[in-house]
Amino acid sequence: MNKKQKNNLIRIIISALCLTVIAISSVEGVLRAALYLVPYFIVGYDILLKAVKGIKNRRPMDENFLMATATLGAFALAIWEEAEGGRGDFLEAVAVMLFYQIGEWFQSYAVGKSRKNISELMDIRPDYANIEVNGETQKVDPDDVEIGSTIVVLPGEKIPIDGVIVRGNSTLNTAALTGESLPQDVSAGGEVLSGAINLTSPIYVQTTKEFDESTASKILDIVENASSAKSRSENFIARFARVYTPVVVFSAVALFLLPPLFSMGVLNAPPEWSVWLYRALTFLVISCPCALVISIPLSFFAGLGGASKAGILIKGSNYLETLSNVKTVVMDKTGTLTKGAFDVDAVHPNKLLCEFLHKAGGKHIHEDNDALEHMKRDLLHLAAHVEKFSSHPIANSLREAYPDISDGCEVENIEEITGKGISAVVNGKKIYVGNEKLMADIGAKWQYCEREGAVIHIAVDNEYAGHIIIADVIKPTSKEAIAELSSIGINAVMLTGDMEKVAKKVAAELNIKEYKSELLPADKVSALEKILLKYKEEKYLNIENLIDRVKGRKSDAIHKVAFVGDGINDAPVLARADVGVAMGAMGSDAAIEAADVVLMDDNPLKIPLAINIAKKCMKIVKQNIYFAIGIKFLCLTLGAIGLANMWLAIFADVGVMIIAILNAMRALYAPRMA
């Protein structure tokens, strides 16, 4: 609570107490009216002052002026009633001002609170960096740290600048960056990104970027500028607010003048000025659009905050809106649905030989799964050892698949056979690892394999031992992600530069019905354009489109197309799509620049999650719009026919605002996925 809020709260409380005392006391007459003015001025003096300023600035539609008019009018009515010999209702005038201020106070408090909560959520800004000077660590401004300096990050501290670990092992919490709560182990030589929190032990990091160029700064930049790009809903509400107040004020004037004149002139009945004045004043109480205006940006802000908590950076509320209307997701294959790196996909040992090898080694092998696993392991073991010192990408994947490479086995006489493979002596046996040509050369009877990918054959002492398939593997969550998308009615399309048979296999495995293969980067843009064209005419009637139509503007297609890529080579496609999503973008500047939505890690499940967050947020926005406008119009109608008094009007106004704000805060929490 800031000072202003505290002061206002005290004013509200004092005024409320005064009001209660006066209401239950038995003071009568002029003194009663005068006493009521005390709590009125305590709680409303600033509104009255602002109202005067509003008139000075020639702004009659100023909400303060309207509220002042409504309450002073109610006061005047009460005095007039007293003069007529009745009993005027002063309490109402003061209460309306009091509740109006309570509403304003709550709004200011809730917005301040949520502003703080959400910024804290996204607070990955490191305040300082530790530099070691003459053996002592000093805290310095991260802005002053030059590239190549070594900084110390102690346990519990945020890594301030991107870099490479030169000394120390630790575990990092990257939740603020990726939304992934699983801690990540790092050691010397490993790359670390700013914004991650060091958990266990000190690490020494050599910086590779300046502070401004580091991941944390980039992310903050996106997040802080996010809600400046406004959505159609926000613009709609701003336009609505601009016409709403004048319309209500003119209706109030009409309500005050027309019915009495009508009854006097036409019906020859008494004009009942005071009744119609009261109804007109009730209108003024409902004329402020603030409840409506506040809840919409708040919903978007919460939605953007909730998304970034889940590791999804959305660059503006307009993209959040577009994302909620996505009906087709076009995805790149390599790096998005597949890992984009070659991995051992399958190991097919030549069973008989393996058995023979094992028996020779004195082990007894049964015909069960364990045994097969054992053989696979043996085959990988041989291949990895032969490739122990090779730098070929395939060798890397083989070694990765068999991590216990330093098990003391002897590897000698390594010989590269260009274009064919490699041979070596492992534990006294001559092993060949290579393609079909190599197998043919040494007379080993190799087997054809139907699986897609690069086939690596292995022979032991000129006898065929089996083969290993190396392929770009599908990410473990890809299938689930596609299923999730189709469960929310979204059509997935895969684009790839890869061969038709590979594309077909991946598409079949992931249940993707539509795919295009063998595309050059430029072909991907035209493929996407074709898809965009196909859905361009699909329109849907909603308020925004209706306004567009009335104004003779072309309305937007409602079937939005998203493109998801890894940000490498596909910047033009990202830019061309209705909403471009870059994934696994941590550390890739180009992707962060080009995309509208940035997924911090490379988990495809984040795609449906992002869409679900957007849908939930837009649902809340719509609920708030319809609810707030609906209640306002209901109150106006009831007020016009005399069924609603000022009490109801002010309660409805404040109540709607509180409910709308609380509803908006729901957008902060990511929806649960089925």
Partner 1 sequence: MKKTYKIEVDCANCANEMEEAAKKTEGVKSASVNFMTLKMKVEFEDGADEKEVMARVLKNCKKVEDDCEIFFD
Based on CB atoms, which residue is closest to partner 1, 111 or 659? 111
Q: Nearest approach, Cβ of 618 to partner 1 (angstroms)?
A: 17
Q: Nearest approach, Cβ of 414 to partner 1 (angstroms)?
A: 60
Quote the CA–CA distance of 598 and 55 in Å, as a whole number. Answer: 48
Under the binding rule (CB under 8 A), the answer on residue 104 touching partner 1 is yes
Quote the CA–CA distance of 53 and 65 in Å, as a whole number. Answer: 9
Among 115, 167, 513, 553, binds partner 1 (CB under 8 A): 115
Q: Nearest approach, Cβ of 136 to partner 1 (angstroms)?
A: 36
Q: Nearest approach, Cβ of 643 to partner 1 (angstroms)?
A: 28
Q: How many residues bind partner 1 (CB under 8 A)?
A: 28
Based on CB atoms, which residue is closest to partner 1, 260 or 316? 316
Number of helices (H), then strands (E), in the chain: 22, 22
- Look up residue 511 and give its DSSP letter: T
Contact 82, 65 (CB under 8 A): no
Among 53, 392, 549, 553, binds partner 1 (CB under 8 A): 53
- Look up residue 124 and give its DSSP letter: -
Based on CB atoms, which residue is closest to partner 1, 6 or 530? 6
Contact 77, 277 (CB under 8 A): yes
Q: Nearest approach, Cβ of 670 to partner 1 (angstroms)?
A: 19
Quote the CA–CA distance of 223 and 298 in Å, as a whole number. Answer: 15
- H/E segment holding residue 342: strand 338-349
* CA nearest neighbour of 475 among 509, 512, 436, 446: 509
Under the binding rule (CB under 8 A), the answer on residue 319 touching partner 1 is no
Quote the CA–CA distance of 473 and 455 in Å, as a whole number. Answer: 14
Based on CB atoms, which residue is closest to partner 1, 187 or 228? 228
Which residues in the 269-308 window bind partner 1 by CB under 8 A?
288-290, 293-294, 296-298, 300-301
Q: To which residue do tokens 């959520």 refer? A: 121
Burial of 156 (0-12, 13-18, 19+ CB in 10 A): exposed
Based on CB atoms, which residue is closest to partner 1, 296 or 586? 296
Under the binding rule (CB under 8 A), the answer on residue 108 touching partner 1 is yes
Contact 193, 586 (CB under 8 A): yes
Under the binding rule (CB under 8 A), the answer on residue 63 touching partner 1 is yes
* Choices 50-58, 277-285, 337-345, 546-554 (CB under 8 A): range interacting with partner 1: 50-58
Residue 562, SS3?
Answer: strand
Two structure tokens written together for 471: 């392929």
* Choices 101-109, 537-545, 554-562, 634-642 (CB under 8 A): range interacting with partner 1: 101-109
Q: Nearest approach, Cβ of 319 to partner 1 (angstroms)?
A: 15
Based on CB atoms, which residue is closest to partner 1, 119 or 184? 119
Among 20, 228, 511, 637, binds partner 1 (CB under 8 A): 228
Question: Is the C-alpha dihedral spanning 599, 602, 604, 606 positive or negative?
Answer: negative
Quote the CA–CA distance of 617 and 324 in Å, as a whole number. Answer: 8
Pairing of strands 184-186, 170-173: antiparallel
Under the binding rule (CB under 8 A), the answer on residue 121 touching partner 1 is no
* Choices 55-63, 375-383, 551-559, 622-630 (CB under 8 A): range interacting with partner 1: 55-63
Burial of 36 (0-12, 13-18, 19+ CB in 10 A): buried
Under the binding rule (CB under 8 A), the answer on residue 212 touching partner 1 is no
Two structure tokens written together for 223: 């997040």
* CA nearest neighbour of 459 among 568, 513, 383, 530: 383
Based on CB atoms, which residue is closest to partner 1, 62 or 472? 62
Q: Nearest approach, Cβ of 297 to partner 1 (angstroms)?
A: 5
Q: Nearest approach, Cβ of 576 to partner 1 (angstroms)?
A: 25
Q: Nearest approach, Cβ of 550 to partner 1 (angstroms)?
A: 22
Contact 173, 157 (CB under 8 A): no
Based on CB atoms, which residue is closest to partner 1, 34 or 49? 49
Q: In sequence order, which residues have a C-beta less than 8 Å from that of residue 576 and are 6 or more positions away? A: 525, 528, 529, 532, 563
- Residue 287: phi, psi to the nearest 5? -80, -15
* Beta strands in 528-662, from DSSP E residues, in sequence order: 560-565, 579-583, 597-599
Under the binding rule (CB under 8 A), the answer on residue 107 touching partner 1 is yes
Give yes or no: 332 in active site: yes
Q: To which residue do tokens 């008139």 refer? A: 55
Q: Nearest approach, Cβ of 154 to partner 1 (angstroms)?
A: 31
Under the binding rule (CB under 8 A), the answer on residue 124 touching partner 1 is no
Based on CB atoms, which residue is closest to partner 1, 63 or 387? 63
Which residues in the 232-261 window bind partner 1 by CB under 8 A?
238, 241
* Choices 178-186, 223-231, 449-457, 517-525 (CB under 8 A): range interacting with partner 1: 223-231
Residue 399, SS3?
Answer: helix
* Choices 105-113, 191-199, 538-546, 585-593 (CB under 8 A): range interacting with partner 1: 105-113
Which residues in the 401-440 window bind partner 1 by CB under 8 A?
none
Question: Is the C-alpha dihedral spanning 564, 568, 570, 574 positive or negative?
Answer: positive
- Residue 493: strand pairing partners: 330, 514
Under the binding rule (CB under 8 A), the answer on residue 194 touching partner 1 is no
Which residues in the 519-558 window bind partner 1 by CB under 8 A?
none
Q: Nearest approach, Cβ of 41 to partner 1 (angstroms)?
A: 19
For 77-90, the three-class secondary structure string (H helix, E strand, C coil) is HHHHHHHCCCCCCH
Contact 163, 185 (CB under 8 A): no
Among 218, 230, 315, 516, binds partner 1 (CB under 8 A): 230
Under the binding rule (CB under 8 A), the answer on residue 224 touching partner 1 is yes
Total count of residues recorded for the chain = 674
Based on CB atoms, which residue is closest to partner 1, 115 or 451? 115
Based on CB atoms, which residue is closest to partner 1, 436 or 544? 544
Quote the CA–CA distance of 305 and 355 in Å, as a whole number. Answer: 59
Catalytic residue from among 162, 332, 556, 578: 332
Under the binding rule (CB under 8 A), the answer on residue 95 touching partner 1 is no
- Look up residue 549 and give its DSSP letter: H
Among 50, 125, 348, 381, binds partner 1 (CB under 8 A): 50
Q: For binding to partner 1 (CB under 8 A), which residues are involved?
A: 50, 53, 57, 59, 63, 104, 107-108, 111, 115, 118, 224-225, 227-228, 230, 238, 241, 288-290, 293-294, 296-298, 300-301
Active site residues: 332
